[in-house]
Chain A
Amino acid sequence: MRKYSFSYLMSRSFKGFSRNGLMSLASVLILTSCLLISGCFGLIIYNLYVNLHSLNELNEIVCICNYEKLPDEELDALNAKLRTLPNVDNVEYTSREEALSRMREKYAKHPQVLDRFNEENNPFFEVYTITYSGSDQDAANLLFTLRNKNEFPQFRTVEDRLETAAKLEKLKNTVLWISGGFMAVLLFISVVIIMNTVRMAITARREEIEIMRYIGATGWFISFPFMVESAITGLISAAIAFLLQFIIYGNVERLLNFDGSAAGVITIVPFSSVWYFVLAGFILLGLLTSYVGSKISLSKYIKV
């Protein structure tokens, strides 16, 4: 069993990387672009998933009452009636005052938004939020009952999240397919670029390789520097892509976030809670791409 000096092999690899400078740089740039685009798609999908999940998880139906304030007795009766409906787990009443006050809390940093509203001039409606359980069919039946004006004339609109969830689900799947296709194409291009870089490096060192073969070098000894060079390309690309992703996502996050949620409608996952997934993904993809690319080239162009 031959024992090679690890430091010697590594120094050969780094020398090779710098000697093949321009092509190495091109590989890094292409791979960085691929990783970055993959990262962007990945984060979009993850954000969609999180938003969709929160929508599905709520299982809520929001019943908005008519603008005219209902007397207390009628509110109590309505509350009791709602609780008797099948599959209803909980009924929560929100008065117009509470709604305004919640909004004031939410936009505490921007009080000017709600400045012109007060108890006399309150834009909010009384709301019953119903939490239910059961199948989609049960939810549909419950919705049908609640939307029946004869049964519940107090409600002007009954909103559920099923439709929104279905739309988001569709959007998520579309983005998933498009981004999956994009990523596959980009990764294929990356593999080809890495293959080409390794091929050029092999061609540039053809004579050196020939001498090594004559002297008795193993295929592993010849191939190792090329593999490490590709791995260096993968790691540098991953590092640059991560840095760019951090900057881009940070800016998008700042742009969309309005007091913690984008206009109060969608949730933006903070980068601080996903950075390790992004970094691990980039490193993994970078190394995998460079491994596959170099392995194909080496098996094709280096013979023992």
Chain B
Amino acid sequence: MIEFKHVTKIYRSSSRDTTVTALNNISLSIKDGEVVFIVGDNGSGKTTLMRLITRMEVPTSGSLTVDGQDLKKLKKRKIPDYRCKIGMDFQDYRLFPKYTVYENVAFAMRVIGKSSKTIKETVPRVLSMLDISARANHFPSEISGGEQQRTALARALVNNPKILIADEPTANLSPEMSRDVMDLLVTLGENGRRTVLIITHDVELIRHYSHVRVITLAHGKIVSDTVGGAEATENA
């Protein structure tokens, strides 16, 4: 379970003269195995929310617990192990251009010290699951945007994370591809074994998922927390 209790995140400029309140007294809880859309305009606090969950940042005040672990109290040396529970799918994919599709996915396993044998067994399976096996030996520049997104997803999933966070996964895709990718993400969470958080500002797209919870942020606050894309669209 992910639980925010009165979380505020304030960024201070290096000169300390100005401050920006990215999240303002947020409280919410996300159950294990839940699929959640987090929507909002630019600057609404979506990315900060994601950075707090991944422990790239700590709340300025309030508490954030993931699986009963208070992230503020998480020891520095325990952070990498904690992050292994989370799969990140980035907006711009962030694939390594000099690595092939296979190497990009394998890299996520190497980073956490998996053996070559495990990597050789797991990566082809995940590539096959995401239907990009045929592209395994291609470089990112040689494949389509949708395939790049799938590669990024494969990298996020290869370590079998408990939480999958997709940051604007459809931002660089055509409407058809966007729908495919969104379907895939929702499906990945629907078996209840994995919590899936999808950060997006594409409110039109989430109308298609009427059974999925939608949290809408604006100016660092939660303005709605409902089930069903249509309602969220109205609130946004």
Contact = CB atoms under 8 A, between A and B. Distances in A.
Interface string B105-142: 00110111101100000000000000000000000000
Nearest to B113: A2
A300 to B, nearest CB: 14
A2 B83 CA distance: 14
Interface string B79-93: 111111010101000
Interface in A206-260: 207-208, 210-219, 221
B56 A214 contact: yes
A214 B83 contact: yes
Contact of B83 (A3, A4, A207, A216): A216
Contact of A216 (B76, B90, B96, B112): B112
B76 A5 contact: no
B160 to A, nearest CB: 12
A4 B84 CA distance: 15
Contact of A215 (B77, B79, B108, B116): B108
Interface residues of A, number: 19
A8 B110 contact: yes
A212 B76 CA distance: 16
Most chain B CB inside 10 Å of its own CB: which residue of A207, A211, A213, A304: A211
Interface in A267-304: 304
Interface in A143-191: none
Contacts of B84: 215-216
Contacts of A210: 94
A3 B113 contact: yes
Q: Which secondary structure dominates where chain A touches chain B? A: helix
B149 interface: no
Contacts of B77: 218
B195 interface: no
B54 interface: yes
A214 B80 contact: no
Contacts of B115: 3, 5
Contact of B112 (A2, A5, A8): A2
B151 to A, nearest CB: 13
Contacts of A214: 54, 56, 83, 86, 88, 90
A219 B79 CA distance: 10
A3 B112 CA distance: 8
A131 B189 CA distance: 96
A221 B109 CA distance: 12
Contacts of B81: 216
Given A5-B110, A5-B116, A8-B110, A215 B94 contact: no
B215 to A, nearest CB: 21
Given A2-B112, A214-B88, A216-B111, A208 B80 contact: no
Contacts of A208: 96
Contact of B111 (A3, A207, A215, A219): A215
A207 B94 contact: yes
Contact of A217 (B56, B111, B155): B111
Contacts of B112: 2, 215-217
6 contacts: A2-B113, A3-B113, A4-B113, A214-B86, A215-B159, A216-B80
Interface of A: 2-5, 8, 207-208, 210-219, 221, 304
Given A210-B94, A216-B111, 5 more contacts: A5-B110, A215-B112, A215-B155, A218-B80, A304-B79
Interface of B: 54, 56, 76-77, 79-84, 86, 88, 90, 94, 96, 107-108, 110-113, 115-116, 155, 159
What 6 pairs between A and B have smallest CB-CB spacing? A2-B113, A216-B83, A216-B84, A217-B111, A214-B88, A218-B80
